[in-house]
Structure 1
Amino acid sequence: MRELDRAEPLRRLHLVELLAGIEPWDAAERADIVGTAEWVADGAPLYRVRKPDVPAKHLVSYFVVFDEGRRELLLVAHRKAGLWLPSGGHVEPDEDPWETVVRECREELGVPAVPSTFAGERPFFLTVTETRGAGRHTDVSLWYVLRGDPAEIVAYDEEEFDAIRWVAPADLLAEPAETLDPQLHRFTRKLLAALA
């Protein structure tokens, strides 16, 4: 048995522990946490091995950069999705989801990943969402919250994103849902409740 194969049960156990640490915001998140824990425990393939949709359901780490002083979120205009959403990427087979956040934050925004003061290096939110367009698949997304400063984030991956912008949560909730990641309003409501 390869070393990677021996580590797989420990990675799955760690994922189940991460899921158990997420306080569900609503009934949908509660159901997603339970369903995802069952999916992980069942031994199904978890990691994308071929773009865009093999396997048809796989793990993603999202990270929402949050300016705790100004209380604004950083969003990116994702070229392929055609939506405003948080940064993030697919979890690689040998990666912890937090390691994905660290790698993708450096690649996409050119800054180190700094955990938020209230969530740390653990996922804050979980969603299970079918993607749009060609190569439709299901993203099982662990959402992390990072601290960020607009003065430090001055560049972004222009191959992947058309633009970036900072937005206050109340303004984000007033935006049409069809222009955003389909779960972003739910995430924002959970974030506001955690900050209250």
Structure 2
Amino acid sequence: MSLISSAAGMKKQFTATGYVVNPDRTRMLMIFHKGLQRWLPPGGHVDPDEFPSDTVTREILEETGVNAHHIGTGAMDLALTANDEAQLPTPFAMAAQLIPESHKDIEHIHMDMMYLLEAEDSDPISARISEVDAARWFNRTSIINELTTTDSVRSFVRNTLEET
């Protein structure tokens, strides 16, 4: 049975994740997630009345101290000119993720919007220990071969990061 068909009736939450790469796309910013005990891109829950594209930049700053900016994914330009519409940065992918039961919550589903962002890897990282255990930049080989992470992260890295 697939995750999507087995998720009927389960609690679901919107999240936004920032796949932050350096300008030459040789490194990616990762955090060590306390609860899941694995290396992941920074991100978190979309707050009420918050655009998901703002969620991801807020979470990156909160978790790592890094100021990242959206670099887009080639979404259709709607050429909006009126004051009553605005085009938002578009996620490059969305995924459903099963989150195991913990002391904080029941087993549930994250509906994750994955955004492509860029930041200078020379800028200092200040991991907020209340948020994450660590934050670091990693190259392609380290992420694919050495880190405990997810298949979606490895797939992104294979398709996006350059060899160093």
TM-score interval for Structure 1 and Structure 2 normalised by the shorter chain: 0.7 to 0.9
Q: What is the CA-CA distance between 1:182 and the residue it aligns to?
A: 4.5
Mapping 1:71-150, distance limit 5 Å = 71-116=26-71, 118=73, 121-134=89-102, 135-150=106-121
Q: What is the CA-CA distance between 1:183 and the residue it aligns to?
A: 2.3
CA contact (8 A) 2:125 2:135 kept: no
- The superposition leaves residues 113-147 of structure 1 with CA deviations (integer Å, 9 ceiling, x where unpaired) of 31126568321121111013422211111111111
Q: What amino acid is aligned across from residue 147 of structure 1 in structure 2?
A: E
Q: What amino acid is aligned across from residue 159 of structure 1 in structure 2?
A: S
More strand by share: 2
**Shift in alpha-carbon separation, 1:107–1:69, aligned structure 2, 3 A:** same
Of 52, 65, 80, which aligns to 2:20? 65
CA contact (8 A) 1:119 1:145 kept: no
Q: What amino acid is aligned across from residue 107 of structure 1 in structure 2?
A: E
Of 151, 154, 162, which aligns to 2:122? 151
In 2, the alpha carbon distance for the partners of 1:181 and 1:153 equals 26
- The superposition leaves residues 139-191 of structure 1 with CA deviations (integer Å, 9 ceiling, x where unpaired) of 11111111112221321211121112222224322236xx2134212222343
**TM-score, normalised to structure 2's length?**
0.73
**TM-score, normalised to structure 1's length?**
0.62
CA contact (8 A) 2:73 2:91 kept: no
Aligned alpha-carbon RMSD (Å): 3.0
Could you tell me which residue of structure 1 aligns to residue 155 of structure 2?
Answer: 186
**Shift in alpha-carbon separation, 1:152–1:108, aligned structure 2, 3 A:** same
Q: What is the count of residue pairs matched by the alignment? A: 143
* More contact order relative to length (CA 8 Å, sep ≥ 6): 2
Q: What amino acid is aligned across from residue 140 of structure 1 in structure 2?
A: M
Unmatched segments (≥5 aa) in structure 2: 76-88
